[in-house]
Amino acid sequence: MQRREFIQKLPFLSAIPFSLSGVPFKILSNQNHPVFKEKKYGDSQNVLIILQLHGGNDGLNTVIPLAQYDQYYNFRPNLAIPDSGRRALIRLDTTLGGNQQVGLHPDMIGMKQLYDQGRLCIVEGVSYPNANGSHFRGRDIMFMGGGSDDHYSNGWIGRYIEAELAEEGYEYPDDFVTDPNNFAYKDPLALEFGNEISLIFHQKERIPTSISIGGPEEFYDLVKIELDGYKDTETDDRGIPPLVLKDSPYYNELSWILGLEERSNPYAERLKQAYDNGLRQNSPVKYPTTYPLSAPAGSRNNPLQENFKIIANLIGGGLETRVFLVRIGGFDTHANQVEKYDPTMGAHAALLYHISATMKAFQEDLRVRNVEHRVLTVTTTEFGRRAYSNFSFGSDHGEAAPMFLFGNQVQPGFLGNNALFKTVNGNLGMQYDYRKIYASILEKWMGMDKEVVDTKVFFSDFEGKTDEALPVIRDSLTTGIEFINERFYLKDCYPNPASEFTNIAFKINAPGKIRLRLLDNQGKVLKVILNEDKDMGDYIEKVDVSDLKSGTYLYQIESNQLKAAKRLVVVR
């Protein structure tokens, strides 16, 4: 793009795939433009991805209360997901207490698998006091990190970045950006997919330190500028104003804009470089592109898969950006949330499938690139839906909704009680203030001092603010094996030693094919005890060993989530 074309497009910059500010350029002359002394912000390698569910997700058809299933069904008979049959809800976890017994929508198989692998944390009842039912105001509140009565002009991520960099020291010289050597960060501090910069990235009296992209290829092609051959004359094709206007507000403003454009070149180069490095890793992971069942027009194609594939390439390729924002729309389901002939299918089902299947592929993609331990993804939505369905096969604006955290460093499990335990006039009440979850993430994942989180980022009072961080992030780099072993295990058989028979017990927390075999000490299969599909639960198999000679044997179990073997001694 030539500079003259760039200048011509300035009034429309927020509507094209790349924007450095996402705010009108007419206010830039009143802004301070920071330059950082030395890079420290990027020293931590942890990455936060925020997945916005645009429109207000129906939490009750996403995380379904089992302990109060009859009440759930009575509240929404035309929306309720069945608890039996071919398209029944997916039971999450038999080890949880009764008030936490929940199921997932049948199209959330990928998220159930992530849960069983210790890569998913579900927080129920996320909201804030006196939740606002307006889409725009609700999103602003969630993005600004305030309460229902707050009106901040900046966002909680913007304040987080500002507070982190303030600890390092920064200056505001006049030549910011026009001299690239003054800018200490080769990578953008935050990236948003879309055509604007959301309030979440805004900083007080300062432009956001983030950029918006449609995709690395489009971004690179849009901002790549060839400067060779141009001369710095009083007027030229780049649009530089005449020197006679130097030091005037017009000259300073336009020079700032041109410097901003010029600064975009290194960013574009870096994004392209990281993206290409990621492509060269040749990840074998395939992302889901379409919903495999019937869905309304416009719902079948997966809008998330390309964005998360790009992020995996960028992170795998070495980009040091710390925060990403991705959004998926379509959650304002006042009407036709489900198909009239089947409440398990429809527009909402397709959305849940896109999220679940994409996150399953994304986590696997990160794993094969050996960067999974650095990445945390968290969902957000402006509000949930009401417990009562309406006559249009839909659900109306409500309050609380579940939040999901993905990654192999989350503290896996389920926080809270199922949603209907706190229902008033059809509204699902708050169990956790959303700011407490974000504050816990900043402290435990992004490494921010709790006092700074409480005074510089989430400075308004809210329930649980002064408490310790919520257990959503593990305290150390572990594999989650303890979580898995509590839900999938093979027990010691009894009696052992045995002469006539022994009992082999095992537990599985997900349905699947189970193969249970008896082997000799050389590994030869002597008996196939089980080779069939089993539902989740605890099982005991009585095995006849009266035909075996004295000696040591192995009994071995295999399923999708469980592979184990133990010793059996037979005596005569």
pLDDT per residue over 94-121, tens digit each? 999 999 999 999 999 999 999 999 999 9
How many residues would you count in the chain? 572
SS3 call for 424: strand
On the question of pLDDT at 57 being above 80, the answer is yes
Q: Which residue has the higher pLDDT, 507 or 19?
A: 507
- CATH 2.60.40.1930 maps onto the chain at 488-570
On the question of pLDDT at 198 being above 60, the answer is yes
On the question of pLDDT at 240 being above 70, the answer is no
Question: With pLDDT > 70 as the criterion, what percentage of the chain qualifies?
Answer: 77
User: How does strand 211-213 pair with strand 190-193?
Assistant: parallel
Question: With pLDDT > 90 as the criterion, what percentage of the chain qualifies?
Answer: 67
**pLDDT reported for residue 495:** 97
Q: What is the pLDDT of residues 360-413, one digit of tens each?
A: 999 999 999 999 999 999 999 999 999 999 999 999 999 999 999 999 999 999
pTM here is 0.85
CA distance 314 to 279: 9
Q: What is the pLDDT of residues 461-516, one digit of tens each?
A: 999 999 999 999 998 755 678 899 999 999 999 999 999 999 999 999 999 999 99
SS3 call for 200: helix
On the question of pLDDT at 151 being above 90, the answer is yes
Mean pLDDT of 29-45: 43
Q: What's the mean per-residue pLDDT of the chain?
A: 84
**pLDDT reported for residue 88:** 97
Q: Do the Cβ atoms of 535 and 94 come closer than 8 Å?
A: no
Q: Show Cβ contacts of residue 246 under 8 Å, excluding neighbours closer than 6 positions.
A: none
**pLDDT reported for residue 359:** 98
Q: Do the Cβ atoms of 170 and 35 come closer than 8 Å?
A: yes
What CATH number was assigned to the domain covering residues 488-570? 2.60.40.1930
CA distance 400 to 138: 12
Q: What is the pLDDT of residues 405-440, one digit of tens each?
A: 999 999 999 999 999 988 888 999 999 999 999 999
Q: Show Cβ contacts of residue 106 under 8 Å, excluding neighbours closer than 6 positions.
A: 81, 87, 88, 89, 90, 344, 349
Q: What is the pLDDT of residues 338-355, one digit of tens each?
A: 999 999 999 999 999 999
